[in-house]
Amino acid sequence: MIVMENVVVEYSKFKLNCSLQVSKGMITGLVGENGAGKTTAFKALLGLTPLDSGTVTIDDISVDQLSSKDKEKIGTVLSDSFFNPVFTIKDINRLLKNFYQDYDETYFLTKCEQFNLPLKQKIKEFSTGMKAKLKTLTALSHQAQILILDEPTSGLDVSARYEILDMLQEYLDQYPDSCVLISSHISTDLERICDDIYYLKQGKVLLHEDTDVLLDMYGILKADETMTDKIDQDFLLYRKRTTYGYDYLTNQMPFYKENYPNLIIEKPSIDQILLMVMGGEEI
């Protein structure tokens, strides 16, 4: 449903150069450290920043050719945009009814009540968690088929993050023909709900993999100096120098467990894989 192909966006000190795809019924994660290019990628997807080259299509339509009706199918959360802080939820409810033909007022107000969001209080008086929940609700309230969510859980405690993630999963269960692209620097959040994950560093995709494969097939080999020249290199992705030798990231952990029974092999978390990709040397 979303295809970004060889997209280049170049600033004076930064260059985005990446491709990605989000399919129907999928939740796709985009992870990377601050400054990796996640927000730039999202703005390129939404046509909010001009492309130097490459293409972006949503439902096979170029993003710059989307009609107003097409745009109503998209729900967004961007870190640097929201409603006027003096608005109340009642104000927002009224605006959303005017913005979207398929706006579900009952859903929106019911969810606000479930999250204890006061209808008459100004947004500027909301906590960080309350604002985050409200942002996400506005994206979900008009039966969007495509959700593009930039760091919707940033700055929240674990409980608030899980509430938002559960809400996204419930939404996709309700609308199985939809898709979600979500970014976060908290990789465990993405592990919880995403079908696949893209790792972005300095504007480039370094790794794209199904989440199940990351959790089941990836491993970190810990080799001392005597072993570094004896290990089969065919399935090694990255290496990182350590005090005892090298750590190696592989996407074929069973192969090395079978063929190197004396080698220390750890099953890594998503965070550990991320650290190897971010700080390691590609093989």
pLDDT digits (tens, 9 = 90+) for 52-93: 999 999 999 999 999 999 999 999 998 766 788 999 999 999
Each residue of 22-31: pLDDT tens digit? 999 999 999 8
Each residue of 193-231: pLDDT tens digit? 999 999 998 999 999 999 999 999 999 999 998 888 889
3-state secondary structure of 197: strand
pLDDT-derived band at 192, boundaries 50, 70, 90: confident
Q: Which helix (H) or strand (E) holds 135?
A: helix 128-140
Q: Which helix (H) or strand (E) holds 208?
A: strand 204-210
**Strand arrangement of the beta sheet that strand 179-184 belongs to:** 74-77, 146-150, 179-184, 27-31, 196-201, 204-210
Q: Write phi, then psi, for 273 (nearest 5 degrees).
A: -65, -45
What's the pLDDT at 279?
86
pLDDT-derived band at 155, boundaries 50, 70, 90: confident
**Residue 227 vs residue 97, higher pLDDT:** 97
Give the integer Cα–Cα distance in Å for 149 and 128: 16
Strands 196-201, 27-31: pairing is parallel
What's the pLDDT at 195?
95
Give the integer Cα–Cα distance in Å for 88 and 126: 10
Give the integer Cα–Cα distance in Å for 64 and 218: 39
pLDDT-derived band at 258, boundaries 50, 70, 90: very high
Residue 186 has pLDDT above 90, yes or no: no
Q: Write phi, then psi, for 121 (nearest 5 degrees).
A: -90, 140
pLDDT-derived band at 96, boundaries 50, 70, 90: very high
What's the pLDDT at 227?
86
What's the pLDDT at 159?
87
Q: Please, are residues 97 and 166 in contact by the beta-carbon 8 Å criterion? A: no
Q: Give the chain's domains with CATH numbers.
A: 2-212 (3.40.50.300), 218-282 (no CATH)
- Long-range contacts of residues 225-228, Cβ cutoff 8 Å, at least 24 apart: 227/263
What's the pLDDT at 271?
87
What's the pLDDT at 173?
92
What pTM did the predictor assign?
0.90
Please compute the mean of the pLDDT values over residues 24-51 and round it to a whole number: 91
